[in-house]
Chains A and B, each alone.
Chain A
Amino acid sequence: MAVAIQVESLGKRYRIGQRLRYHTLRDRLGYALETPFRFLRGGANGGSNGKRAEIWALRDISFTVNEGEVVGLLGRNGAGKTTLLKILSRVTQPTAGWADVVGRVGSLLEVGTGFHPELTGRENVFLNGAILGMGRREIARKFDEIVAFGEVADFIDTPIKHYSTGMQMRLAFAVAAHFEPQIMLVDEVLAVGDSAFQKKCLGKMDQVARTGRTILFVSHQMSQIRRLCERCIWIDQSRVRMDGPAGEVVSAYEAAQMDSSEESTGHSFLSWEMAGQKQTLRDGFREVDVRMQLRLSQPISQGHLGVGILNEANFTVVGWGFDGIHLPAGLQEISLKIPMLPLRPGVYTMVCSLFDRGNNLTGGQLVDHWYATPPLMVDTAPLAHPQDRWAGVLNVPAELQVNETVAVGTSTGQ
């Protein structure tokens, strides 16, 4: 069988801070005077004091993917899956090793890349298609299909700033779903959208997979991986930990997540779910019981836990802080009961920070900080304004009533 992707001893090193902030010229001027050539090589080299920590996001990765294989990539957040896809799609360069890729590569690291709010749906389809790597003719040929798939036919000539988030997502997915390169790199993009549309996209992916295309697929949803992939690669702490049939790798991965005897990885957070509804919230007005599995290498006394829920715009919709926490070392489950959670439909991130010997005011000593994965999906019927920009962040219904007893001539803001 022909080889589609061959990866050999691939590595990627980041300097800490490189991705997080940009440098000001002043930081560098003194350094530049000493080594002018390094200065011209910009952020890729050097620092103001020459001492910078490095992180290997990927290390010594080797594997081969044959043509037509559908391979799932597993691993917890920060393991290096996205970095691997970015290298294979040439968004970023490796620091060591090499990869050979045969055939046209298309990457879906997110959907709707390059969408411009002022442009109409039609214009954005062409723009987004071109950015993904489709030719103008190819887009024109598939245009009707894309619009039908995205269910936005009536608004195709309206600027997408007037679309709801859901509509924008659907249109973006529709373009992505009709993108058919020989090798496809997909990063978790199927994790969003409402559940009916998600099913439709999965169906489309299934279909694409059957046409003999090579797919490398990152997901945190094991059901998706089991359904789509015959083979899985598990990446753990920047290295390949296991590579084999999907069923086996998924089981081993899940077992490792649960197994408390596993040596500590330095992370406290293992997994989370909402009692009775996994990670998808379908009713915002019932009590939600958020359960998180943690593994602590040290006991916490008089600790503090901060939990925040962030929407797609990284806006903190709600946050809580709990003081006086006592947790023994080892595997723990904490349960967070929230009487109601009337959030707008969408994808949310739960952020937690755990402190030792601290409280709401002092913070204390940070033990761990994590983003709960997979993300929190809210799949409820929208109750507020149909246009996103007026709807706000709460999803609560309101009733309007005209009271006839109001005296004539009195102005009220009905």
Chain B
Amino acid sequence: MQTATTTHPAEIHARALRIAPSHGLLNLRLREVWEYRELLYFFVWRDIKVRYKQTAIGAAWAVLQPFLTMVAFSLFFGQLAKIPNNGLPYPVFYYCALLPWIYFAGALQSATNVVVEQQRVITKIYFPRVVLPISAVLGGLVDFAISFGVLLALMTYYGIAPTAAVLWLPVFLLLAILTALGMGLWLSALNAFYRDVRYVVPFLVQFWMFASPVAYPSSLVPERWQWLYGLNPMAGVIEGFRWALTGQGLPPGPMMMASTAGIVVVLVSGLIYYRAMEGSIADVV
């Protein structure tokens, strides 16, 4: 790399934006993301607008997917396999877990693909590329809200009133968003370079579900392994959702702490990796 040998006007020093080969792994430039919040808003808005265009039943898909999965789980894991249910009716037990899980799985998939899908925009216009996975992760929240309505109906039907624990719900939702974002950052940057990632993600999501307390309560995991189990961020999130909504199951404890630590690691490393790769994404995508 060459350094400047010519002198240049002082005024340009003060106000200029310097374009040069980048270095420095730890400069995450988060303030720049804030400056581009309006673009972020438009990306989310477009996602939501076009999501169910030209589908016959539109946003009903947001409800059908978790609902039918819940029916299947209640039938096979509940009625047939008699998985312990924390004393909850199976439909409520499963729906509480499927709600964050389906959001997470969807957000992860769209965050993985967003960089490749938006390749035209990426190769033509500058904006902090990190806006793309963030928008992908936020776009899924509308579906989440719609399917949340069904949960309220289910709980009313079974006469389950939320306890004060429900105040924790936004925290768990935030953790789910951050987990999806952290993983999404890793996967979308990798996907720009290696399209293999696209084929890996569906498997990853499937295995991850078995490693999370979606189909079973985490109390089935022996106590001395709980902390290890909790390193899976979604374990804490899902168990937290059940507990916050119904007051049943495990309240946040060591597992939750391990999960939060896991989320921080995934998110920060994801940001660093994504930022480091950002400069060359437009050259390879």
Contacts and interface: CB of A to CB of B under 8 A. Distances in A.
Nearest to B4: A8
Interface string A84-100: 00111111111111111
A141 interface: no
Given A102-B16, A107-B125, A131-B39, A41 B276 contact: yes
Q: Is the interface of B mostly helix, strand, loop or mixed?
A: helix
A116 B51 CA distance: 12
B82 interface: no
A114 interface: yes
Contacts of A41: 276-277
A387 interface: no
Interface stretch (A23-31, A260-268, A362-370): A23-31
A131 B126 CA distance: 9
Given A42-B284, A131-B121, A135-B38, A22 B19 contact: no
Given A25-B196, A42-B284, A100 B53 contact: no
A18 B42 contact: no
Interface stretch (A122-130, A220-228, A324-332, A403-411): A122-130
Interface string B196-240: 100000000000000000000000000000000000000000000
A88 B19 contact: yes
A98 B18 contact: yes
B19 A99 contact: yes
Contacts of B194: 22-25, 28, 42
Contacts of B196: 24-26
Given A9-B2, A43-B284, A131 B38 contact: no
A25 B196 CA distance: 6
Interface in A103-134: 103, 105, 107, 109-110, 113-114, 116, 118-119, 123, 126-127, 130-133
Given A3-B12, A22-B284, A116-B50, A91 B125 contact: yes
Interface of B: 1-2, 4, 6, 8-9, 11-13, 15-22, 38-39, 41-42, 45-46, 49-50, 53-54, 118, 120-127, 189-190, 192-196, 273, 276-277, 279-280, 282-285
Interface of A: 2-3, 6, 8-9, 11, 14, 18-19, 22-26, 28, 40-44, 86-103, 105, 107, 109-110, 113-114, 116, 118-119, 123, 126-127, 130-133, 135-136
16 contacts: A2-B9, A3-B9, A3-B12, A22-B193, A22-B195, A24-B196, A26-B196, A42-B284, A44-B279, A44-B280, A91-B122, A98-B4, A105-B17, A126-B42, A127-B45, A131-B39
Given A41-B277, A98-B18, 4 more contacts: A92-B279, A92-B283, A118-B54, A123-B49
